[in-house]
């Protein structure tokens, strides 16, 4: 198992890795909308937060030697399912290959963010 880490995405805020690779498959931890340079939650609503989440995921994918085209499955967490349509609009800009996906509503997320996404991708 190989651990993946990049400074182009927020560092782990707990006892976990940004991602791991096992048998040619990348498993990312959930990414939230932290600006990796400032370490702060980006300003704005669901669209701005979703863009930052996807940018962070892109950085982790790149560090592992893969990209959005190789994503097999995503799991998405939304604090408010009323944000589903706007979330999807931004999500579709990054996940053009339309991987399998689960999207669930949750009571809360770290740092009070509106969304979190994790991915499984082929290397």
Q: pLDDT digits over 25-53, tens only? A: 999 999 999 999 999 999 999 999 999 99
| pLDDT at site 13 | 77
For 58-110, write each residue's pLDDT tens digit: 999 999 999 999 999 999 999 999 999 999 999 999 999 999 999 999 999 99
User: Architecture of 2-122 per CATH?
Assistant: 2-Layer Sandwich (3.30)
What b-and-e string marks burial along 98-113, b requiring 16 or more CB atoms within 10 Å of the CB?
A: ebeeebeeeeebeeeb
- Domain boundaries of the chain, sorted by first residue: 2-122
Cβ atoms 49, 33 nearer than 8 A = yes
Q: Which two tokens stand for residue 3?
A: 């651990």
């Amino acid at each position: 198992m190989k651990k993946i880490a990049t400074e182009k995405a927020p560092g782990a805020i707990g006892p976990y890795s940004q991602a791991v690779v096992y048998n040619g498959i990348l498993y990312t931890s959930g990414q939230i909308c932290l600006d990796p340079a400032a370490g702060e939650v980006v300003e704005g609503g669901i669209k701005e937060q979703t863009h930052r989440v996807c940018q962070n995921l892109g950085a982790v994918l790149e560090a592992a030697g893969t990209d959005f085209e190789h994503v097999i499955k995503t799991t998405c967490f939304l604090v408010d399912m009323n944000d589903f349509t706007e979330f999807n609009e931004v999500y579709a800009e990054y996940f053009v290959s339309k991987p399998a996906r689960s999207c669930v509503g949750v009571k809360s997320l770290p740092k009070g963010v509106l969304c979190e996404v994790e991915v499984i991708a082929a290397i």
